[in-house]
């Protein structure tokens, strides 16, 4: 794999390739660690040794493809055939960016099914960055993900530096700074939550859940000993309840709430929210929203200003 020492991978070029019509070759390519090429290269395999592929190009007539299209096809095949392992090849499958380098020692081979040719990759296809994080399409720039809709077989990526940087697990300076400031703001939000009265903290919890699609059933307040809020999620018809505590204690949680929840069959889930203390729970039907997690939810819900006004 081409690399820049401790900086990760490097590439002279980044090329998107579609692995078969409708991704029909993806499964084989990922399993075998190969990259396949069509364009009748299997039928005309003996013509692919010419440096300029002139004989191969003549198998297409202008009436079939048009002169410009024929030139494009010849260039695609030539780049694929001649890559000495310095091009980063990418594709999209199952909402993931997949990437590989060709083995510089691998030559173009005719595929056994007669439908094109292939080359072997250096160390297989990858779908995670060098920090071992999945390269999900929803986390990538539209400049790159729009390639998934490309109608042709192969093309250059418009922002190759971005692709290499994301695979290396790097972030722009602006993003790193934003992450630092966001972390600082979450810490301040936790401090402000601790200044709220129990009633105001409960109201904040209600606002966060309401903003995320949950609908409160009944009023806010301790109408029952173990239930502060009953919630309903219309999209899934899920029923849950929320217990809000200023300071959480493990023993109290285990003996009073976790144990009681097992008998409350009318609810499919329990949320336990607090701003001070620390508790743990292994029940996957009980969601613990500790100060850090809940502060992130407050920030995402746009309630920082509301919180500032309450404690100001």
Average pLDDT in the chain:
89
pLDDT at 260 (0 to 100): 86
User: How many whole angstroms separate alpha carbon 232 and alpha carbon 225?
Assistant: 19
Domain with CATH 3.40.1350 in the chain: 194-311
User: How many whole angstroms separate alpha carbon 180 and alpha carbon 201?
Assistant: 26
Q: Is the pLDDT reported for residue 7 higher than 80?
A: no
The β-bridge relationship of strands 238-248 and 229-233 is antiparallel
Q: Is the pLDDT reported for residue 218 higher than 70?
A: no
Query: 19-76 pLDDT, tens per residue?
Result: 998 899 999 999 999 999 998 888 898 889 888 898 888 888 755 666 778 888 899 9
Q: Compute how many other C-beta atoms are within 10 angstroms of the C-beta atom of residue 297.
A: 18
The architecture CATH gives domain 194-311:
3-Layer(aba) Sandwich (3.40)
Domain with CATH 3.10.590 in the chain: 5-167
pLDDT at 312 (0 to 100): 85
Long-range pairs for 194-200: beta carbons < 8 A, 24 or more residues apart: 194/246, 194/275, 194/276, 195/311, 196/275, 196/307, 196/310, 196/311, 198/244, 198/246, 200/310
Please say whether the structural domain 5-167 has been given the CATH code 2.60.40: no
* % of residues, the chain, pLDDT over 70: 93
Confidence of residue 221 (pLDDT cuts 50, 70, 90): very low
Strand order in the sheet with 34-37: 34-37, 117-120, 109-110
Q: Is the pLDDT reported for residue 5 higher than 50?
A: no
Confidence of residue 225 (pLDDT cuts 50, 70, 90): low
User: How many whole angstroms separate alpha carbon 152 and alpha carbon 289?
Assistant: 47
């Amino acid at each position: 794999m081409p690399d820049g020492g401790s900086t990760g991978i490097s590439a002279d070029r980044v090329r998107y390739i579609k692995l078969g019509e409708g991704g029909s070759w993806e499964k084989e390519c990922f399993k075998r660690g190969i990259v396949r090429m069509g364009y009748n290269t299997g039928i005309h395999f003996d013509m692919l040794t010419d440096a300029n592929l002139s004989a191969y190009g003549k198998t297409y007539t202008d009436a079939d493809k048009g002169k410009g299209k024929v030139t494009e096809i010849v260039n695609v095949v030539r780049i694929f055939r001649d890559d000495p392992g310095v091009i980063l090849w990418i594709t999209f499958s199952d909402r993931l960016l997949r990437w590989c380098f060709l083995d510089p020692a691998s030559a173009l081979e005719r595929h056994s099914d007669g439908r094109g040719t292939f080359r072997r990759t250096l160390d297989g296809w990858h779908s995670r960055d060098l920090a071992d994080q999945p390269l999900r399409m929803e986390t990538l720039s539209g400049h790159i993900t729009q390639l998934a809709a490309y109608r042709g077989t192969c093309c250059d990526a418009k922002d190759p530096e971005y692709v290499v940087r994301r695979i290396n697990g790097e972030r722009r300076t602006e993003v790193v700074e934003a992450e630092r400031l966001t972390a600082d703001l979450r810490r301040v939000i936790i401090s402000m939550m601790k200044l709220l009265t129990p009633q105001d903290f409960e109201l904040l919890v209600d606002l966060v859940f309401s903003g995320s699609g949950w609908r409160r059933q009944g009023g806010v307040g301790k109408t029952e000993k173990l239930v502060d809020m009953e919630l309903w999620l219309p999209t899934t018809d899920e029923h849950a309840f929320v217990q809000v505590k200023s300071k959480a204690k493990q023993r109290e949680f285990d003996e009073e709430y976790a144990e009681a929840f097992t008998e409350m069959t009318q609810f499919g889930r329990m949320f336990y929210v607090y701003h001070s203390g620390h508790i743990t729970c292994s029940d996957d039907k009980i969601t613990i929203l500790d100060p850090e997690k809940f502060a992130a939810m407050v920030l995402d819900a746009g309630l920082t200003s509301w919180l500032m006004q309450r404690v100001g």
